[in-house]
Amino acid sequence: MSRIAYVNGSYVPHAQASVHIEDRGYQFSDGVYEVWAIQNSKLRDHQQHLTRLQRSLSELDIPFTHTNRSLNMILGEVIRRNRVRNGMVYLQITRGVAPRDHSWAKDIIPSIVVTAKSVDPAQAANRAKTGVSVITLADLRWKRRDIKSVSLLPNVLAKQSARDKGAFEAWLVDEEGFVTEGTSSNAWIITQDNVLVTRSVNSDILSGVTRLSLLELAKELQLKTEQRKFTIDEAKQAKEAFISSATTLAMPVVKIDKSVIGTGSPGMAAQRLREAYIAQGYV
């Protein structure tokens, strides 16, 4: 079955989906996006993703031209037409099409694109059994990382560097030596004193929706948590480490650069959080 995409009011074959060459998302990275995990044909953490989407649009002064109801209908229809039971749905909203100019007119109509694809959950489950490795790189991104912008070139280059070195992800490090986050994930450690640590939310990192859900689950599991900065050295001395995102959930990290974390196997805390998140179902 060929995939179907939604583009500015129409459902079209994925292979034929396109936007105008003067779309500001294409020319200026002038837009935002969201990615939902799909579990058993349902959207995970749906309302939290909508809330973050609307905030990102507001921060860039891009109007939200759909109601939540109409957007939900589009997301649901794209999932249905692509027959996705487990996978992901991608939504991108740009400022729209206009003659190329750094500034913009207020009457531009935003462009919206939605795609969905199936992902075999066994792949991530198998990866979680062995854990993944990460490398560390300098964080070269702009200073508004709290906006889920489509401007991702530094993330892309860092992710490719990780893949070229045989790693799954790259952790980005600020000028003071503290970990900010991964190229497409949030970063976590569990200290030798069994404290779950992740960086506090501000403009330095994206407020991950899965991150928020895991923090709530940590409370239910009675795990002590701290939202604060941590260094690479602290991470390498940690009992456990893991990353989180809509597509990886809680994914154990067993190696940072050349340092083995803990025993070199996925730790219990990360596994408990992953299992609890999957069992929780959609919200």
Over residues 89-102, mean pLDDT: 98
283 pLDDT higher than 60:
no
Over residues 242-255, mean pLDDT: 96
- Both 256 and 166 in a single domain? yes
pLDDT tens track for 50-71 = 999 999 999 999 999 999 999 9
Yes or no: say if 183 and 148 are a contact pair by the CB < 8 Å rule. Answer: no
Report the pLDDT value the prediction gives residue 41, as an integer from 0 to 100: 92
Beta-carbon contacts of residue 189 (< 8 Å; ≥ 6 apart): 196, 197, 198, 230, 234, 235, 238, 239, 240, 241
Q: Which residues are catalytic?
A: 148
Report the pLDDT value the prediction gives residue 2, as an integer from 0 to 100: 81
Q: pLDDT over 90 for what percent of the chain?
A: 97
- Both 109 and 128 in a single domain? no
> Where a domain ends, among 119, 134, 166?
119
- Phi then psi dihedrals of residue 188, to 5 deg: -135, 150
- Both 211 and 236 in a single domain? yes
What is the domain range of residue 177?
124-280
pLDDT tens track for 142-153 = 999 999 999 999
195 pLDDT higher than 90:
yes
Mean pLDDT rounded to a whole number for the chain? 96
User: How many domains does the chain divide into?
Assistant: 2
pLDDT band at 39 (very low <50, low <70, confident <90, very high): very high
- Both 129 and 219 in a single domain? yes
pTM attached to this predicted model = 0.94
Report the pLDDT value the prediction gives residue 1, as an integer from 0 to 100: 62
- Both 87 and 146 in a single domain? no
Tokens of 187: 């970063």
> Where a domain ends, among 73, 92, 119?
119
> Where a domain ends, among 96, 119, 142?
119
Report the pLDDT value the prediction gives residue 193, as an integer from 0 to 100: 96
Query: Which region holds residue 77: left if phi is over 0, alpha if psi is between -120 and 50, else beta?
Result: alpha
The domain spanning residue 34 has which CATH number?
Answer: 3.30.470.10
- Both 106 and 243 in a single domain? no
Report the pLDDT value the prediction gives residue 282, as an integer from 0 to 100: 52
pLDDT tens track for 167-192 = 999 999 999 999 999 999 999 999 99
Q: Which of these ranges, 157-161, 182-186, 223-227, 276-280, has the smallest mean pLDDT? A: 276-280
